[in-house]
Amino acid sequence: MTEPPSPNPGPNRSTPPAATGRRHGLKLALGLSVVLNLLLLGLIAGGLARGHSGRMGPPDAGLGPLASALTPEDRKAMREGFVRMGQNWRAYRQAAAEDARALAAIIATEPFDRAAAQAVLDRQTQSVGQRMQSSQSLLLDRIAGLSPSERQAFAARLTQALDQRKGGD
């Protein structure tokens, strides 16, 4: 009498190549997901440690230290300017997250499609560039509307923000 085949493969059986490739892609996607989540957590923790209110919205709208020199009134005026321009930061963040997911899927797929990954990165670059142009335009409009003494105060806050960053680098 012969024994029926065991449902569990023995140690000598190898995993089919297709399953190994899928497993590798899954591990890569999961690893990328963990990295992105840790990055997001670090950004949130860093913002809270620096005293940001936790309010959602662009921390500096691509303006770097110039954003640190803005007064609360300046920030409010810029937010209102973005609304007038039809800028939607929530939609922007959502699109960026969708691009990151698309990039993760592309990276996890075998074979790696460099052209598809480049297309996602190009789309992100274009979107960030458009946001920065809008931010710069609103900032310049705001500065142009300041009195000479207000511009001097802005310049002093900018210098202070730069000095603080220099000490932290």
More confident residue, 68 or 138: 138
Under 8 Å between Cβ of 163 and 65: no
More confident residue, 42 or 48: 42
Distance CA(40)–CA(55), nearest Å, equals 15
Under 8 Å between Cβ of 54 and 143: no
Helix and strand totals (H; E) in the chain: 6, 0
Distance CA(151)–CA(164), nearest Å, equals 20
Domain boundaries, the chain: 65-168
Distance CA(67)–CA(164), nearest Å, equals 13
More confident residue, 104 or 54: 104
For residue 68, the one-letter residue type is S
pTM for this prediction: 0.52
The 8-class DSSP code of residue 13 comes to P
Q: 3-state class of 32 per DSSP?
A: helix
pLDDT tens string 83-117: 887 777 778 888 889 999 999 999 999 999 999 99
Fold exhibited by the domain 65-168: Four Helix Bundle (Hemerythrin (Met), subunit A) (1.20.120)
Query: Rg for the chain (alpha carbons), in Å?
Result: 25
Q: 3-state class of 58 per DSSP?
A: coil
- Give the residue carrying structure tokens 């603080």: 164
Under 8 Å between Cβ of 99 and 124: yes
List the single range of 15-19, 78-82, 158-162 with lowest mean pLDDT: 15-19
Give the mean pLDDT of 141-149: 91
For residue 103, the one-letter residue type is L
